[in-house]
Amino acid sequence: MDSKQRWSVEMLLSSAWFEVIAVALLTILVFATSYRPAWWFWSGTSQKSNVPSGEEKHDKKREAVTKVPGPYPLPILGTRWIFSCIGYYKLSKVHDAYKDLNKRYGPLCKEEALWNFPVISVFSRQDIEAILRRNSKYPLRPPQEVISYYRRTRRDRYTNLGLVNEQGQTWHDLRLALTSELTGANTVLGFFPALNIAADSFIELIRRRRTGYEVIGFEELAYKMGLESTCTLILGRHLGFLKPDSSSELATRLAEAVRIHFTASRDAFYGLPLWKLLPTSAYKQLIESEDEIYNIISEIVEATILEKRNDARDESVEAVFQSILKQKSLDICDKKAAIVDFIAAGIHTLGNTLVFLFYLIGRNPDVQAKLYEETYSLAPPGCDLTIDDLRRAKYLRACITESFRMIPTTTCIARILDEPIELSGYHLTTGTTVLLHTWIAGMDEENFKDAGRYLPDRWLTSINPHSPLLVAPFGTGRRICPGKRFVDLALQLILAKIVREFEIIADEELDLQFEFILAPKGPVSLGFRDRS
């Protein structure tokens, strides 16, 4: 085969061309079988107008999950076409797509995954709270299928699917073994002095990167802070990612690999499931990024193990790392994979949250002025803040909670029902996958007064309507993120120290994009003007 023929074959098998070919073949199949789905004649109008009333509404209570309105499905492929080249939503704007689906179809919307398996989006506060209030010993959440598939092929690295993807007793045992120290109050107390040092280094990094008072590409600095603070918590050592002579290339590589991993996961989940037939570009990117993340963090972990053999350290700072290493019930592969997952999860989630938080503070001068007064009163300038100082900072915590409501990194909570439930007049059976859109519900005027305004005071005084259960950036219940206590504390300390040092300025609108989590579209420009 000459080079021209080989180029043609490679081009044919590329993901974009394969998607077009797959859709063309499906279209031929539809015509050949005389199948005519309703969307063939769809004008784009909402199905809300078809909501029954009176006696019909009473009958609706017996409607099955298959009757929930939503985009019209293709045979086998379901509704994933709406995010493909023939659809009308962009993968980078999935968060906006769900806002539109809510407007079109109301409190419940049905999508269909591969083989027309139903996935129900829940937008109503009452329905969301009804599910979140249910107690289950082993809450089920939909696994990330593409990552689970890949990890099953790499038994040399993974003996399980990880905390995010495992279910039942396996998940419970894994969480118990891996997160006892991470979720403990004493661990956070021991880690606090090291976090103070990291926050000071972050302040100096901002000063060095300013042009005048503006930092262009602030998200890169935020990711370095996420990496440094997470590594300090998990590994018990400062890696120097915030220093001028640090391994900035390593931090940049790792942050980029995590970003690609998120976007590849998004493309595999929301796009047409062609990766199951052949390795699409999304699947290749996911494998490459997963390998890059694993290799980089493995080097850091091995260096940490070697260092700790030859040097006595503060055990309170090393608690998480040592607790994982000492677990006799876990294979060394399990231990290393868990550490990799914890660090990778912390980089962008903490980094993106810092961007969103600083942006909202910078856009609201009155809020910032009140926050500065509180943080300035906590301790004299130049002094480290203590845990007790932060306990007194009620307005600081309100600012963070309000930020979670307005721009969370995680826009919904996914669950698999372990028992039947009635939602908005529909009967959802056991095993149904539901997406609880807490962000969209939290921005609804029916659930929060002046929902479009950044009002931290709503968390200090009663302003009705008020629905605090909708603000769940870490999830809820037994499946809650094990890093919640750490992230809460890190955000409080970093924000307090930054506001004491700088006036934050956000002149430009922040554009958001969906990368399986909500992320800022870079480069993000923020101003940091020294306080006199």
Residue numbers in the known binding site for heme are 481
Structure tokens at 520: 């800022």
Residue 216 and residue 527: Cα distance in Å, rounded?
9
For the CA atoms of 188, 191, 197, 203, the dihedral, rounded to the nearest 10 degrees, stands at -30
Rounded distance between C-alpha atoms, residue 383 and residue 386, angstroms: 9
DSSP for 319-350 reads HHHHHHHT-TTS-HHHHHHHHHHHHHHHHHHH
Closest by CA to 74, choosing from 41, 34, 116, 104, is 116
Q: Where are the alpha helices (DSSP H) in 55-93?
A: 55-60
DSSP 246: S
For residue 254, the 8-state DSSP code is H
CB 524 within 8 A of CB 510: yes
How far is 276 from 327, CA to CA, in rounded Å? 36
- In three-state secondary structure terms, 80 is helix
Q: How far apart are CA 239 and CA 241, in angstroms?
A: 6
| Feature table: binding site | 481
Other Cβ atoms within 10 Å of 448 Cβ, number: 26
DSSP letter (8 states) at residue 510: P
Cα 183 to Cα 206: distance, rounded to the nearest angstrom: 30
Residue-by-residue DSSP string for 361-408: HHH-HHHHHHHHHHHHHHS-TTPPP-HHHHHT-HHHHHHHHHHHHHS-
**Tally of CA atoms within 13 A in the half-sphere of 192 that contains its CB:** 19
Residue 337: C-alpha distances to residues 162, 291, 386, 456 (Å): 8, 11, 33, 38
CA-to-CA distance for 308 and 315, rounded, in angstroms?
A: 11
